[in-house]
Amino acid sequence: MRTSLSASTLIMKAMPAEEWTTAEHVDRYLSRADQCPRRAEGESVLLEHVPRDARRVLDLGTGDGRLLGLLETDHREMLAVGLDASELMLEAARERFAGDERIEVVEHDFAEPLPALGRFDAVVSSMAIHHLEHERKHSLYGEVFDLLEPGGVFANFEHVASPTRRLHLAFFAAIDEPLEHEDPSDRLLDVESQLRWLRELGFDDVDCYWKWLEMALIVGVKPTTDG
Ligand SMILES: C[S@@+](CC[C@H](N)C(=O)[O-])C[C@H]1O[C@@H](n2cnc3c(N)ncnc32)[C@H](O)[C@@H]1O
């Protein structure tokens, strides 16, 4: 049986991504990011799907720039923009990429329409878009389609919803996180809905390319005009 939400939970739920403004939450996430089982496996599949010659890459919810750091290693031509709303995360990303002119770090709350950043060969994201309300996830996917070059790739390594409460609990047990540490701004959505949305928006080759419990890699390609 579902328990009702307490008043304090409701207040927290009304403030998307608020937890990323506290040093405690950010530090805890960053200190545990490498320990998440199977994460490196999913990330490595994402890296395979970003073309080696991708020049402009946008990372939505870049955090401390983890994903761009991984991409930078074998995507030598890459000029990337890492976007995030959290001052603390942006500070960590700026520190990671200090002196690296290939990476630009931009402050933006992607609950709002994306700023004019030009076109991209790839848009990537890791564990970030699930913080948005479903309606905004959908419109953001549309904006991603619009700012991709023809043939460009959208690769979203995401925290997705389990089909049942039991599997949700099993995921938290598997990653050794108590359920109390679930992010208050999580708005988990199942893989199937997200795949359908991407197809409806016009993406090609849409599929879930990797999945383990609540971690999934969702990829779509913007068609080229010549098919
Ligand atoms: C779980 S962390 C993931 C960070 C990084 N992508 C990684 O893989 O380690 C989620 C990130 O999404 C960012 N985020 C959440 N909601 C956001 C929003 N509305 N606009 C921009 N960034 C947001 C947070 O600030 C945080 O850096």
Q: How many CB atoms lie within 10 A of CB 186?
A: 13
Provide the pLDDT confidence category of residue 190 given band limits of 50, 70 and 90. very high
Q: How far is CA 111 from the centre of its chain?
A: 13
Is the predicted pLDDT of residue 28 greater than 50, yes or no? yes
pTM of this prediction exceeds 0.85: yes
CB 84 within 8 A of CB 29: no
Q: Which of 131, 134, 156, 157 has most ligand 1 atoms within 8 Å of CB, for mutation?
A: 131
Q: Which of 62, 68, 112, 159 has most ligand 1 atoms within 8 Å of CB, for mutation?
A: 62
What H or E segment, with its residue span, contains residue 29?
helix 23-32
* Residue 227, pLDDT score: 60
Residue nearest to atom 4 of ligand 1 (CA): 63
Mean pLDDT of 107-121: 97
CB 50 within 8 A of CB 155: yes
Q: Does residue 111 sit in helix, strand or coil?
A: coil
| Total length of the chain | 227
11 versus 152: the higher-pLDDT residue is 152
> How far apart are the CA of 226 and the centre of ligand 1, in A?
35
Q: Which residues line ligand 1 (CB under 6 A)?
A: 16-17, 20, 29, 33, 61-63, 66-67, 84-86, 89, 109-111, 126-128, 131
What H or E segment, with its residue span, contains residue 60?
strand 56-60
